[in-house]
Amino acid sequence: MALTLKNVYQLYINGEWVNASSGKTIEVDNPSTGEVLTKIQEANKDDIDRAVTAAQAALTEWCQTTPVERQDYLLKIAEVIEKNNDYLAEIVSAEMGMPASTSSFLEIPGAADHFKYFAGCIRAEEGFVATIDANDIAITIREPLGVCGLIIPWNFPISISAWKLAPALAAGNTVVIKPSSHSPLSLLELVRLIDEAGILPRGVINVVTGSGKVCGAALTSHPGIDKLSLTGSVEAGKNVLREASCNIIPATMELGGKSPNIFFADCDLDKAVEGAILGLGVHNQGEVCSAGTRAFVQAEIYDEFVERVCKVLAKLKVGPAWNDETEMGPIVSKEQMEKVLSYIEIGKAEGARLKLGGKRITTPPLDKGYFVEPTVFVDVKNSMRIAQEEIFGPVLCIIKFVSEEEVIQMANDNDYGLGAGVWTRDINRALRVSRAIRTGKVWINTYDQVPANVPFGGCKKSGFGREVHKMAIDEYSNFKTIYIHTGEKPYGFYPES
């Protein structure tokens, strides 16, 4: 299917496509080819003000819609996503390099499923009642927070948008959403499709585009925003939290990771080899926040594990994203590619042994894009920068361990706390280690499974708050408790005589 992108994408405010007042544009390129795809506009403070005002105006009616009505809206959005699956997948692949197999079969279907899931969740929502005694009860009801500012990274542009949009809208909020400047097109096109299908009242979803520094900062500091939700880097998280604290509003933080993927000697090695590669996130070039990029391998199986993982990674088909054969695409941008390559140099300088890859791919036609070889470092020490810092590329650090205690200590010796994997046939050990690791999520004998009804989120510098589960609706709700006393007489606390 040929992409039919606009030459320049405007902002989507109050159900209309409007120009940004700055008159500035930003180019969006295709990392598989280095070619410019199109341009987006740079929204500034004035544009954010317009978008927030539109969202506030829409809130008056939207927050009065019933759960049945909102279920209906969400299901219609899911239908639009499903109907345009391949079109949206192709845009995601073009703008950020996600292989077609991932964008068509995971990214877009996952987003549709999210809208369906939250459509169901909001129907099941009942609030709760506390019975205090014969005279007193308290009912707790859910109310929307108001206008939500949603900030999206480039690595899963549609599914992470769905992670935030679906629960925010289900809870009765209106939104101003800002995609990353590297991958804004799929969201803009999705909103165009929703608009053309006439699904939502105007102002319920508003899309602003631009850099984090200008557009993102204006959105997060706007006094009309009632809730912020960011998925992004720790640096962006600090800035967003600073603004949230000034306005005393809640914020959900889904930040970076450097997750441990732990392989005990008794694990099923066939599954483990696959799990190490799945954990590395090659299906999205390692640009996966929960990627298990620190593979801890017990000494007894270390050599065989390294050989087998490298053998599979060496055969991986790296190529243009929108190609059925491709198993790993390009890095999102030149800048990110250079960051990945610079970490590879850091790893070598730190004394880690480069076992596989390590270079930019320069064979035509891939030389025009931002392709990096699948890379494996062995003899890595957990204290090295390549093991401590998020690289966000296809770079696996393999670290040898001997005992359970040692590996728990090393797994926890990191600023992040997003995901983790534990591979063993010993159920007692699997649970013991899972409980000892400080992360938001642990997968046992699998990795990176994210169904809609299982919470996702982190602790430590990976952030706080949860998405991808009905508890995400709580992140977008004010719980109001109404305390009712039915006694006829005064308590007698302050007698008149």
Q: Is 310 a catalytic residue?
A: no
Site string for ligand NAD, 412-441 (x = CB under 6 A): ------x-----------------------
In the complex with ligand NAD, which residue's Cβ is closer, 208 or 272?
208
Helix axes 85-96, 108-124, angle to 10 degrees: 120
Residue 390 beta carbon to ligand NAD: minimum distance, rounded to whole angstroms: 5
In the complex with ligand NAD, which residue's Cβ is closer, 161 or 173?
161
Backbone angles phi, psi at 264, to 5 degrees: -85, 155
Pairing label, strands 36-41, 25-29: antiparallel
Binding residues for ligand NAD restricted to 458-497, rule: CB under 6 A: 458, 462
CA dist 288 and 97 (Å) reads 13
Pairing label, strands 205-207, 174-178: parallel
Order of strands, sheet of 463-464, starting from the edge strand that comes earlier in the sequence: 16-18, 11-13, 205-207, 174-178, 147-151, 227-231, 251-254, 463-464
Which residue type is seen at 185? L
Q: Which of 121, 148, 267, 289 is catalytic?
A: 289
Please tell me the count of residues contacting ligand NAD according to CB under 6 A.
Answer: 30
Quick count: other Cβ atoms within 10 Å of Cβ 256? Answer: 25
Helix axes 427-436, 404-412, angle to 10 degrees: 30
In the complex with ligand NAD, which residue's Cβ is closer, 297 or 473?
473
In the complex with ligand NAD, which residue's Cβ is closer, 172 or 286?
286
Binding residues for ligand NAD restricted to 282-321, rule: CB under 6 A: 289
255 binds ligand NAD (CB under 6 A): yes
Rule CB under 6 A: choose which of 392, 401, 443, 447 binds ligand NAD: 392
395 binds ligand NAD (CB under 6 A): no
In the complex with ligand NAD, which residue's Cβ is closer, 148 or 430?
148
Please report, for the chain, how many H helices and E strands are present, in that order. Answer: 16, 23
CA dist 281 and 374 (Å) reads 11
In the complex with ligand NAD, which residue's Cβ is closer, 149 or 172?
149
Binding residues for ligand NAD restricted to 192-251, rule: CB under 6 A: 211-212, 216-217, 220, 230-233, 236, 239-240
CA dist 302 and 231 (Å) reads 35
Q: Which of 95, 243, 254, 390 is catalytic?
A: 254
Quick count: other Cβ atoms within 10 Å of Cβ 287? Answer: 25
Binding residues for ligand NAD restricted to 127-186, rule: CB under 6 A: 151-155, 160, 178, 180
Contact 329, 97 (CB under 8 A): yes
Backbone angles phi, psi at 461, to 5 degrees: -75, 0
Contact 177, 220 (CB under 8 A): no
What count of Cα atoms within 13 Å lies in the side-chain half-sphere of residue 293? 30
67 binds ligand NAD (CB under 6 A): no
How far is the CA of 81 from the CAs of 91, 257, 270, in angstroms? Answer: 13, 29, 36
Residue 288 beta carbon to ligand NAD: minimum distance, rounded to whole angstroms: 7
Residue 99 beta carbon to ligand NAD: minimum distance, rounded to whole angstroms: 17
CA dist 309 and 222 (Å) reads 48
CA dist 277 and 466 (Å) reads 26
Q: Is 148 a catalytic residue?
A: no
119 binds ligand NAD (CB under 6 A): no
Catalytic residue IDs = 254, 289
Enumerate binding residues for ligand NAD (CB under 6 A): 151-155, 160, 178, 180, 211-212, 216-217, 220, 230-233, 236, 239-240, 254-257, 289, 390, 392, 418, 458, 462
